[in-house]
Amino acid sequence: MFLTNLMGIKDKPVEMQKAWLYEEHGPKEVLRLGEFPLPILKHNQLLVQVRAAALNPFDCKIRQRPIAPIELPAVPGCDMAGVVVEKGSGVTKFDIGDEVYANIQDSSSEDGKLKQLGTLAEYIAVEENLAAKKPENISFEEAASLPLAVQTAMEGFKTGGFKEGQTVFIVGGAGGVGTLAVQLAKHFYEASLVVATTSTAKVEFVKSLGADRVVDYTKTRYEELEDKFDLLYDTIGTIFTTFQFICILEEFLRAILCDTENSFVVAKDNAPIIDITWPPSNPKAIYSGLTVSGDILEKLRPYLESGKLKAVIDPTGPYHFVDVVEAFRYLETGRARGKVVISAFPS
């Protein structure tokens, strides 16, 4: 019954593909590599052969518990890059053979549900308005690492009403969103001062992204900083799950928790404090979600083509398609630098 309902064609043989899926909510061990129906396109959709995908903390959260409406069994994944192999009758912006990338999960869609078929599959369907053409100078892996994180990063600046020439303090400059927030602040929003936090081992890395100064939160307390900022942008929050308490060293965890809870002291009076996690890390923070749109990705094309904005892939990857569980294990430690990416999809 599930197969005929998903495909929308009763009693017709269902074409299958390889995909990672879960049939119940739970830890990463509920994932298995199996078969999942190929999608049948709507008039406004593209059928894309996936060449690379990226993992996000959001993928972990919705797998662990039903915090968002999604039918089971489900294939995880929001971000992907690949090649258009078929298109719906109403598609006008793309042609077969185009290399595209997108965040395919839009919870603001008409039915309010996430797609049952996420990006950890050989083929996916995505609405035309959510996709953008991949810049020629970046790889599929680099393109796949960008959509959700960059859309989230840009939404935070929009929510905070950030203006050219203002100053920003970014908590968590080495993570998936933080690495992009630092670069966007410097090159897209033209901040006059960009300061970001990270741990000792990542200080030089965050400087290389364009931060004017980097605060090592293991050595410096926020109360010791003299500057006050027009925007405080928290990309970490304080939501930790059980496996993170197990995987992260106690000392490191204390530093992270202290980092995000006390950072508000560097904000100017009445300056917006933006938090991308829900609930926000302190009562003064404003929650910032994201707008899922291919137009946002198109706006960034000149910055990607010029090299002013660069994708950051964690050096442990890209992970092979068969190693998805191991990739999730690493993501869930909270130690990733940039994005965790999956490549070498079946062809």
Domains of the chain: 16-146+312-343 (3.90.180.10), 149-287 (3.40.50.720)
pLDDT at 245: 35
Q: CA-CA distance, 232 to 227, in Å (whole number)?
A: 12
Q: Give 282's DSSP letter.
A: S
- Cβ neighbour number for residue 25 with a 10 Å cutoff: 15
**Phi and psi based region of residue 40 (left: phi greater than 0; alpha: psi -120 to 50; beta: remaining):** beta
Backbone angles phi, psi at 91, to 5 degrees: -80, 130
pLDDT at 188: 97
Parallel, antiparallel, or unpaired for β 79-87 and 45-55?
antiparallel
Tokens in use for 84?
């258009």
pLDDT at 33: 98
Q: Yes or no: say if 144 and 80 are a contact pair by the CB < 8 Å rule.
A: yes
Q: CA-CA distance, 182 to 173, in Å (whole number)?
A: 6
Q: CA-CA distance, 45 to 86, in Å (whole number)?
A: 9
Parallel, antiparallel, or unpaired for β 286-287 and 32-37?
unpaired
pLDDT at 256: 45
Backbone angles phi, psi at 54, to 5 degrees: -120, 150
Q: CA-CA distance, 255 to 175, in Å (whole number)?
A: 15
**Phi and psi based region of residue 26 (left: phi greater than 0; alpha: psi -120 to 50; beta: remaining):** left
Strand ranges for the chain from DSSP E: 16-21, 32-37, 45-55, 79-87, 99-103, 123-127, 131-133, 167-171, 193-198, 213-216, 231-234, 273-275, 286-287, 319-320, 340-343
Q: CA-CA distance, 124 to 110, in Å (whole number)?
A: 19
Strand ranges for 185-234 from DSSP E: 193-198, 213-216, 231-234
Mean pLDDT by 10 residues, the chain (347 residues): 38 82 96 97 97 96 89 96 98 98 88 90 98 98 98 96 97 95 97 96 96 94 90 75 37 44 80 87 83 96 96 96 97 93 88
pLDDT at 238: 47
Identity at 334, one-letter amino acid code = G
Whole-structure pTM value: 0.88
Residue (of 77, 54, 60) closest to 25 by Cα position: 60
pLDDT at 108: 77
